[in-house]
Structure 1
Amino acid sequence: MSRDPEKKAPPAPHAQSGPASALTIPIAVALIPFAVSILGLLSVIFWLHWPLYTGLLIGWLVAVVLALAYGRGGRLVAVGSYQGARNTFFVIGILLMIAGVISAWFLSGTVPALIYYGLQLIQPTYLVVTAFLLAAGTSMVLGTSVGTLSTMGTAVAGMGVVYGIDPALIGGALISGAMVGDRTSPVSGSFHLVATMTGTRAEDNYKPMWQTGLPMFLLCIVLFGWLGYGLSANSPQETDALNSPMLRTITTHFQLPWYVMLPPLLVLVLAALRMPILRNLSLGILFGAVLAVVTQQATLPDVLGSVWFGYDLESVLHGGGIWPMFHQVLLILMAGALTGVLESSGMMSAIFDGLLTKIHDTRNLIFTTLLISIIMAGVACNQALSIIVPGRALRPTYDRLGVSPKILVRSLADSGVVVSPLIPWNLHGILCSTAIGIATTTYFPYAIFLWGLPLLTFSLSFRHKNKRNSDKLDKLLQ
């Protein structure tokens, strides 16, 4: 359905809780693995400087110990861990393929050519807002943020470097635009997953999604236009961009015929034709490798070395590589294993059963939806689970309170779906940042579309204090 790997649906969140003799896990105990995982991730990022997967490894070990202590059994815990990890294999394949694509396209001259010719076509004063609009349009057609960023995001980010524009601003514009289609495109997996998990029809969900999406889209155009104009106009490299060190390096080391820019077009066309993403990216690597040999006179060892270890040319052009991604691979595996234990042991359902009985009004229900979805995006490190878990768990509560399920649709679309790329350890964030070579913590301040939507939806929740306000909103959404 979608080319974004993280949208491949994992098992149901409320899995079996073990044998009949197993003890019920209290909410306070079920929350411990979540808390430990978050503290572990924060510790390894800011203090210990260990690989990210070690933070989740600690959380997984705690979850395993608790599951065994409450009688879940070693077999159930092992199977849950394996099944959770197995659900990430496809995602890992995508991550490694994207890394290989980036390397091959650097070596073939594809990315350098896009940067070189793009600099001559796009005015630097409009580069930031153009990046946002191009990413939004591409993602609406393809329905995938990762595919959008891995095809045109790298080139635009490189152009921003040449013009001396802050990578944070370029990255924020690109990820904001890419998530427009990831959230709302009719061919997006997350769009249809939201509809499925909330029991709604996809064609009925455009209106509630665009009620918040359109204002943020227009606001992004204004802000990115203003910010981009101001920064590039003051940039000392603007008037001399074509003589920059990057372009001198490109023209010295690469042949730049027009056809070296064909690999991204091939990937875009095949994606639009619904070719499976792994096969599509494999062809992208193969096409790039052939161009590297024929056009740039690269040898086969050069190609294989670049795809495996990454590309680096005088520290001016660099990126990609399968080997540098293995820490991320371990992170994704640990995230899957942790999620599997939480689901199979019943800890996930124990938490939600306790929370939902305390919700009695629409405003708190919307806030809870936003909170659970964002927490799942952070703890489960998976965009799909930020939709599946709250969607399944909260729909009965929406029905109990008489709140339109379209409010649930909008709340999910405005929380975990768009917040996932802002979380450094979330696999969506890893894929997006890998595609454009800009860290999530770098582009976060300018990812206006991503953090603006949760704030807008939260502010709108104050309008829904009782059933009467909910009924009025239901009429507007019909």
Structure 2
Amino acid sequence: MTNKNSRSTDNGTKEFSVFSALIPLFIMISAMMVAIIILEADPHVPLILGTITGIIVALVHGFKWKETEEMLYKGITLALPAIVIIMLVGLVIGSWIGGGVVATMIYYGLMIIDPTYFLLTICIICSIVSLAIGSSWSTMATVGVAGMGIGMSMGINPAIIAGAVISGSYFGDKMSPLSDTTNLAAGLTHTDLFEHIRHMLYTTIPGLIIALTVFFFIGRSSAAAGASPEEISSMMTAMQENFVITPWLLLVPLAVILCIVIKFPALPALGIGITLGFLAQIFIQGGSTAEAMSTLMDGFVIETTNEMVNSLFNAGGLMSMMYTVSLTIVAMTFAGVLEYSGMLKALMNQILKIAKGTFGLISATVLSAIATNATCSEQYISIVVPSRMYLRSFIENNLHTKNLSRSLEDGGTLTSVFFAWNTCGVFIYGTLGVAVWEYAPYAVLNYSVPVIALILAATGIGIQKTTDAEKKALLDEIYNDETKTAAE
């Protein structure tokens, strides 16, 4: 049965009305608000309700059950690389805690870093590391974990620390030529990679300056209200009593970062980190092989008289990431139904109808990327789908494609952290241990850059136009690529 609100296209897919496409979103968002705000429950069930609603809408519009089932599996398939990394990060955290790596980083961090400038410092460090390795996730899983421990030991609010870590990590993720999202945005829009990166300076550098300024002033007040020197000294003593603290253990995170810098794939690099942490627990900390294996599975367990030490080091392990993995899977079933049924495309097409001129197109791209992060739960989809929808419109309006590539990153790469069911929000919760609604106000870079992007679009500052000859060349290039893809 085919509903009157939809029709089939020439290639057999269905076209949905905006009303029909909004139904699953409305159900999911409404259920999410009730679950999280009123019931203080987890986001899994609202996402499942949204998925069920999406399937029902798809069936009513003429899809067969087998087709909707395949949409679920396709959505999960998109998240498989993220799921593997999430599980490995659980192993990294467990082995590094058990091996004394985290304790060593925290111990020396407390000795070196002034609490007044800690937030500023950790943001800058994360920016440098992520710029060098091109990965926000790897930065947060290494430097970020240590930063959380150091800052919490100083008595700083974990949500603020997470905001500083996220802001720095995503600066590098957005600006590094090694970043997958950076290369994806440039490639999909037919933009030279380094031209794309240079064009992002207009929005990202002001965003970083704003973030660093905010963390400078917050740091001054946080330090005054933080842990006393006596409390920090007590923590350091407790760590010395329970771990072997040695500078040699700093070679473990440095080895992982070096592997990524020299372009090792993420999985082998993390595997090296896990192995080194595992060996450190046995040969440096004096633990048994059975204890080290248990740490990898269930996390490290410690009981001391210092409550802060207990809260910091009772963590990690594969099982600690199962909540995160399950949320990722559930979120991607919802994303799969919206993307592969065509409901998301229906919503994007409606936006495209009302997007006129430079400000209209750029604001539509930024907002569409944010909406895709919210609905499809995956950072990559927030770049891929809007790029397909808006590319021709940008070119036909004599807007250089680097305006589109920048807008995709301003709205897509950065805002993925603001949704608890997005793979990025899920990863951050599992890695840093802070919920989205707690760190969101402090992820300053991530929300200031999209605002700056809209201001530039409205004023025309930093907007690159094309000549008619360049416009024709770009349209010919796209046509040739589409023809080649169709032939294949």
1:228 aligns to 2:224 (yes or no): no
Return the match for 1:89 from 66, 76, 80.
80
CA contact (8 A) 2:366 2:408 kept: yes
In the other structure, the counterpart of 2:389 is: 393
1:237 aligns to 2:227 (yes or no): yes
| Greater Cα shift, 365-374 or 299-308 | 299-308
1:310 aligns to 2:306 (yes or no): no
| Greater Cα shift, 258-267 or 378-387 | 258-267
Alpha-carbon distance in structure 2 between the residues aligned to 1:339 and 1:438: 24
Which whole-Å deviations, capped at 9, do the CAs of 1:326-379 have from their partners, x for residues lacking one?
Answer: 222122112222222223322222222232122222222222112111011111
Alpha-carbon distance in structure 1 between the residues aligned to 2:11 and 2:429: 45
CA contact (8 A) 2:15 2:343 kept: no
After TM superposition, list the pairs within 5 Å mapping 1:410-449 onto structure 2: 410-449=406-445
Deviation of residue 94 (structure 1)?
0.6
After TM superposition, list the pairs within 5 Å mapping 1:277-426 onto structure 2: 277-314=266-303, 315-316=310-311, 317-426=313-422
1:76 aligns to 2:71 (yes or no): no
Return the match for 1:264 from 242, 253, 258.
253
CA contact (8 A) 1:163 1:235 kept: no
CA contact (8 A) 1:154 1:437 kept: no
After TM superposition, list the pairs within 5 Å mapping 1:14-53 onto structure 2: 24-53=15-44
In the other structure, the counterpart of 1:142 is: 133
Alpha-carbon distance in structure 1 between the residues aligned to 2:192 and 2:221: 43
Gaps of 5+ in 2: 1-6, 304-309, 471-488
1:450 aligns to 2:439 (yes or no): no
Q: How many residues align?
A: 455
In the other structure, the counterpart of 1:4 is: none
Q: Which has the higher contact order (CA 8 A, sep 6+)?
A: 1
Deviation of residue 141 (structure 1)?
0.2
| Greater Cα shift, 305-314 or 98-107 | 305-314
Q: 1:425 is paired with a residue of what secondary structure?
A: coil
- Give the partner amino acid of 1:32: I
In the other structure, the counterpart of 2:179 is: 188
In the other structure, the counterpart of 1:64 is: 55
Alpha-carbon distance in structure 2 between the residues aligned to 1:214 and 1:21: 46
Deviation of residue 22 (structure 1)?
7.1
In the other structure, the counterpart of 1:3 is: none
Return the match for 2:102 from 81, 94, 111.
111
Alpha-carbon distance in structure 2 between the residues aligned to 1:382 and 1:81: 14
Deviation of residue 113 (structure 1)?
0.7
CA contact (8 A) 1:41 1:55 kept: yes
CA contact (8 A) 1:18 1:73 kept: no
CA contact (8 A) 1:17 1:72 kept: no
Alpha-carbon distance in structure 2 between the residues aligned to 1:61 and 1:47: 22
- Give the partner amino acid of 1:202: L
TM-score under structure 1 length normalisation? 0.89
CA contact (8 A) 2:186 2:402 kept: no
Say if 1:19 and 1:214 are closer, same or farther in 2 by CA, change over 3 A. closer
Alpha-carbon distance in structure 2 between the residues aligned to 1:438 and 1:221: 21
| Greater Cα shift, 180-189 or 326-335 | 326-335
CA contact (8 A) 1:200 1:405 kept: yes
Return the match for 2:150 from 152, 159, 165.
159
Deviation of residue 238 (structure 1)?
4.4
- Give the partner amino acid of 1:304: M
Deviation of residue 79 (structure 1)?
1.5
Alpha-carbon distance in structure 1 between the residues aligned to 2:13 and 2:403: 37
CA RMSD after TM alignment: 2.4
CA contact (8 A) 1:336 1:380 kept: yes
- Give the partner amino acid of 1:254: F
Alpha-carbon distance in structure 2 between the residues aligned to 1:86 and 1:264: 30
- Give the partner amino acid of 1:243: S
| Greater Cα shift, 324-333 or 381-390 | 324-333
- Give the partner amino acid of 1:194: A
Q: 2:93 is paired with a residue of what secondary structure?
A: helix
CA contact (8 A) 1:76 1:344 kept: no
Say if 1:21 and 1:203 are closer, same or farther in 2 by CA, change over 3 A. closer
Q: 1:298 is paired with a residue of what secondary structure?
A: coil
- Give the partner amino acid of 1:307: L
- Give the partner amino acid of 2:287: A
- Give the partner amino acid of 2:374: G
Alpha-carbon distance in structure 1 between the residues aligned to 2:226 and 2:50: 48
CA contact (8 A) 1:45 1:52 kept: yes
Alpha-carbon distance in structure 2 between the residues aligned to 1:299 and 1:422: 41
Q: 2:56 is paired with a residue of what secondary structure?
A: helix
Alpha-carbon distance in structure 2 between the residues aligned to 1:20 and 1:409: 29
Which whole-Å deviations, capped at 9, do the CAs of 1:25-78 have from their partners, x for residues lacking one?
Answer: 222101212222222333322233443222211111111111111111122111
Say if 1:125 and 1:399 are closer, same or farther in 2 by CA, change over 3 A. same
- Give the partner amino acid of 1:456: I
Alpha-carbon distance in structure 2 between the residues aligned to 1:23 and 1:267: 47
Return the match for 1:125 from 105, 116, 134.
116
Deviation of residue 385 (structure 1)?
0.9
Deviation of residue 236 (structure 1)?
5.4
Gaps of 5+ in 1: 1-15
Alpha-carbon distance in structure 2 between the residues aligned to 1:320 and 1:19: 51
Identity of matched residues, %: 28
Which whole-Å deviations, capped at 9, do the CAs of 1:110-164 have from their partners, x for residues lacking one?
Answer: 0001111121112222211110110000000000011111111111211111222
In the other structure, the counterpart of 1:55 is: 46
Say if 1:172 and 1:396 are closer, same or farther in 2 by CA, change over 3 A. same
CA contact (8 A) 1:107 1:311 kept: yes
TM-score under structure 2 length normalisation? 0.88
- Give the partner amino acid of 2:346: A
Say if 1:23 and 1:210 are closer, same or farther in 2 by CA, change over 3 A. closer
- Give the partner amino acid of 2:322: F
Alpha-carbon distance in structure 2 between the residues aligned to 1:162 and 1:176: 21
